[in-house]
Amino acid sequence: MITIKSAEEIEIMKEAGWIVAEVFRVIEPYMIPGVSTAQIDSIAEELILDSGAIPSFKGVPGVVPFPAATCISIDDEVVHGIPRSDRILKEGQIVSVDVGAKIHGMHGDAARTWPIGTVKPELLELISVTEACFWAGLKMAKAGNRIGDISAAVQSCAEKSGFGVVRDLCGHGVGHELHEEPNLPNFGKSGYGMRLKAGMTLALEPMITLGDYHIRQMNDGWTIVTSDGKPAAHYENSFAVTDDGPIVFTMQDNEHSV
């Protein structure tokens, strides 16, 4: 069931989103060679807890409950990488961090991808295009448009640059639950799908690859990697659909806006 959020609920989601955005601001200086993914996760969890929130991801059911506050995915890992003390960031990698925070019963959910040190130009382009895909999709997130309008805009942005669009994973509704209806694919056709209504709250999360769109799951039950072993990038924000255009929750004032 899709829930239309009240003005009060949207204000709480702004608070949750600010906490997520603050995590990104605080961890960014640690996105350098020699830092472990466990250290980054620990910093993020401490900030979330100190803000009066709880990590949305920790304990999410699966083959095993997800054990960390963040998902940290390196190079060919698309999403759901598990932070570990023996996973040390290295020069030339790209690393995505997915963060969720829940406060007063409402969730914020977002992701960013960083280059570690000096990386190949095509990886910088991959990161840039992945973010651009989000903004292209967000421009279509207007009351009266359809989900397919968002999906088609994301797909077009990625494919015109020669990148792959992961199809077996998608964005989603967000709010009282971390994952709510509806699904929000990163590929599709304009004019198709559910019509958007003011008060819907969604998480749009392009997952874009240097190769094709095929993926597979690792034996840990969580980590998703590209089938061809080529790098992937991830960019996500939570937002509300309004009659006047989308309101992004998971960004700070100095970041890009629609």
Confidence of residue 252 (pLDDT cuts 50, 70, 90): confident
Tokens of 251: 């960004």
Residue 256 lies in a domain: no
Q: Is residue 160 part of a domain?
A: yes
| Residue 194: inside a domain | yes
Tokens read off for 120: 């190949």
Residues 34-78: pLDDT tens digits?
Answer: 999 999 999 999 999 999 999 999 999 998 999 999 999 999 999
Predicted model pTM:
0.97
The residue among 45 and 252 whose pLDDT is bigger is: 45
In a domain, 138, yes or no: yes
Rounded to 10 degrees, the C-alpha dihedral 226/227/231/235 comes to: -20
Residue 202 belongs to a domain: yes
Q: Which strand (E) or helix (H) includes residue 47?
A: helix 37-50
Give the residue-averaged pLDDT of 116-129: 98
At 256 the pLDDT is: 54
Question: Which structural domain, as residue segments, surrounds residue 114?
Answer: 7-248
| Domain count across the chain | 1
Residue-wise pLDDT for 162-185, tens only, equals 999 999 999 999 999 999 999 999
CATH of residue 37: 3.90.230.10
Q: pLDDT tens across 190-247, in order?
A: 999 999 999 999 999 999 999 999 999 999 999 999 999 999 999 999 999 999 999 9
| % of the chain surpassing 90 pLDDT | 97
Whole-number average pLDDT of the chain:
97
Q: How many CB atoms lie within 10 A of CB 92?
A: 13
Q: What is the rounded CA–CA span in Å between residue 232 and residue 163?
A: 10
Q: Determine the pLDDT at residue 254.
A: 53
Q: Let me know: does 81 contact 226? Beta carbons within 8 Å.
A: no
Sequence-separated (6 or more) residues with CB below 8 Å from residue 145: 195, 196
Contact, 97 vs 166, CB < 8 A? Answer: no
Q: Does residue 258 fall inside a structural domain? A: no
Predicted local distance difference test score (pLDDT) of residue 257: 45
**Residue 255 in this model has a pLDDT that exceeds 80:** no
In a domain, 255, yes or no: no
Does residue 257 sit within a domain?
no
Quote the CA–CA distance of 168 and 246 in Å, as a whole number.
25
Q: Assess contact for 78 and 226: CB atoms under 8 A.
A: yes
